[in-house]
Amino acid sequence: MSISPKVNKLSGGVHDARWIVENVQTQEAAVRGYLRNAFPGVDVDDVIQESYLKLLKAQTAGSIFAMKGYFFAIARNTAIKFFHRRKIYSDTPVSELSDWRILDDAPDAADIADAAHRLDLVAEALEQLPARCRDVFRLAVLRGFSNAEISQALGMAENTVRVQLRRGMIKCSEYVRQRGERR
């Protein structure tokens, strides 16, 4: 249905209401059906309300010449805008988001490479230890044995185990420090 330029130039409450009843509401059911089928996740009432506002502004400016097509186009564009807004923006303020939604605690490539480098460095340091010290250190650090368990497994006094662990820690720390690691 085409609107004459004379009617489009009218503005004001009574004229706008009559224009909406005569021209827009007759198409509303068809537009609602279209929106439900084309945009199932969008709130149709919100889209229709926003479309009415845009139609009224356009009617006041006198820029509507094919009301039915214009109404469908405005409703479609508004629904797309609402759909995108819903996908991109959240109603939850950033300050209320749980930590898992903000930060990814997974290590990045640099962290993984750094950890691999450190592990290689510690493995090299272990290889530099005397055999007895290396065995004690491996059981304590890598396998989590207590001093008593190491003492029993290797057949040495607990005091000897403590001394060997201390020596191993000092020598490994020196080895790592000499190669530039300060942690």
What pLDDT does 4 receive?
A: 42
DSSP 109-155: HHHHHHHHHHHHHHHHHHHHS-HHHHHHHIIIIIS---HHHHHHHHT
130-135-141 Cα angle (round to 5): 115
Tell me if 101 is assigned to some domain. no
pLDDT band at 1 (very low <50, low <70, confident <90, very high): very low
Span 164-178, average pLDDT: 90
Residue 17 in this model has a pLDDT that exceeds 90: no
Whether 65 and 118 share a structural domain = no
CB-CB contact of 158 with 148 (8 Å): yes
Whether 129 and 156 share a structural domain = yes
Residue 150 in this model has a pLDDT that exceeds 60: yes
CB-CB contact of 147 with 161 (8 Å): yes
Per residue in 52-103, pLDDT (tens digit) is 888 888 887 777 777 788 888 999 999 888 877 765 556 667 666 665 544 5
| Greater model confidence, 124 or 88 | 124
Q: How far is CA 94 from CA 47, 83, 85, 86, in A?
A: 27, 21, 16, 16
30-42 burial, b for 16+ CB within 10 Å, e for fewer? ebeebbeeebeeb
Domains held by the chain: number: 2
Domain residue limits at 126 = 109-178
Global pTM value: 0.40
Whether 168 and 116 share a structural domain = yes
Distance of CA 181 to the CA centre of its chain: 34
Residue 10 in this model has a pLDDT that exceeds 70: no
Separation CA 41–CA 31 (nearest Å): 15
For the chain, the average pLDDT equals 80
What CATH number should be reported for the domain holding residue 137? 1.10.10.10
- N-to-C CA span, the chain: 78
